[in-house]
Structure 1
Amino acid sequence: MDKQIFTLTRTNRRFVAETIRDSPDGHMVIVSEPTRTLDQNALLWPLLTEVSRQVVWYGRKLSQNQWKSFFTAALFGMDVVPNMDGTGFVALGERTSTMSKKKFSELIELIFAFGAERNVRFAAPKDQYLARV
């Protein structure tokens, strides 16, 4: 059987249950919250762009990806481990592609709050951004 992914709805629950019942032993079933949407992800990058253009963090201009790591670590924590040759460290954090919609919304809210504290001017007001997702 090929991999099948279902978004549960009131109308398909019976079909999903039958599919599970008819699956061979050893197959896996994972039930989880939906991950972030493409619209949410599309919102993230313009916000990171504006922060990277307008904020200097302790004398440094950070890239969009660095800000993304910064915000995800601030919200969800991170682990720092030695690099392969022992000459430095690598920060391990949560990937945004695996975040639930709720966690991703918290990330977006954190970026807006951080921007407001530092007078970041986003291209559109917060409510216009959030209306898209």
Structure 2
Amino acid sequence: MTKQTYQLRNEQILSNAINHLRNTPLNPDKPYFVTIQEATRSLSQNAKLWACLTDISQQVVWYGQRLSTEDWKNILTAGLKGQRSAPGINGGFVVLGQSTSRMTVGEMSELIEMMSAFGTEQGVRWSDESRQALEWARRFGETKRAA
């Protein structure tokens, strides 16, 4: 059997998924797995994330230094999920963030809201790209707060 994925958006799709499950043969030697999970981040959320990270990295000096977009992504995801750190291999500490590609739409929305608030507090002037990405995300209900 090939892999089947259903995006449960309405009753008809749910019914199709249930029918597929009912027609799946049971075999203890060759079991199937069923996973139900919230959708991961959208392409428009990802565009918003990187546009805002770029604006922040170009405009915010953090404790005397400019940080890369990747550095900011680590700091902001750690801020969202609670800071975790681990000793570095050659000394120091490494802040452990979360992979944004594994975030749900809801988690990414929270990150974008937090990032927008942080940037605004830091006086970031949002680029046209950031504003356009936010407008795209708002149209599809993927974030609540404006930059």
Compute the TM-score of the two structures, normalised by the length of structure 2: 0.79
Identity of aligned residues (%): 41
Q: CA deviation at 1:60?
A: 1.3
CA distance in 1, matches of 2:93, 2:47: 30
1:5 aligns with 2:5: yes
Structure 1 segments unaligned to the other structure (5+ residues): none
For residues 75 and 101 of structure 2, what CA distance do their matches in structure 1 show?
Answer: 16
Matches of residues 9-88 of structure 1 in structure 2 within 5 Å? 9=9, 10-23=11-24, 24-25=26-27, 26-83=31-88, 85=89, 87-88=91-92
Which deviations, in whole Å up to 9, do the C-alpha atoms of 1:5-52 show, x marking residues without a partner?
110132211110121223344211111111110111011111100100
Using the alignment, how far apart are the partners of 1:116 and 1:61 within structure 2? 17
Give the C-alpha shift of residue 69 in structure 1: 0.7
User: Which of residues 116, 121, 128 is equivalent to 1:117?
Assistant: 121
Counterpart residue type for residue 96 of structure 1: T
What 5-or-longer segments of structure 2 have no aligned partner? 138-147
Which range is displaced more, 118-127 or 30-39?
118-127
In terms of mean alpha carbon deviation, does 64-73 or 118-127 score higher? Answer: 118-127
- SS of 1:91's equivalent in the other structure is strand
SS at 1:71's partner residue? helix
TM-score by length of 1: 0.86
Q: Secondary structure at the match of 2:12?
A: coil
Which residue of structure 1 lines up, in the alignment, with residue 144 of structure 2?
none
Measured in 1, the distance between the counterparts of 2:90 and 2:22 equals 50
Distance across 1 between alignment mates of 2:94 and 2:118: 24
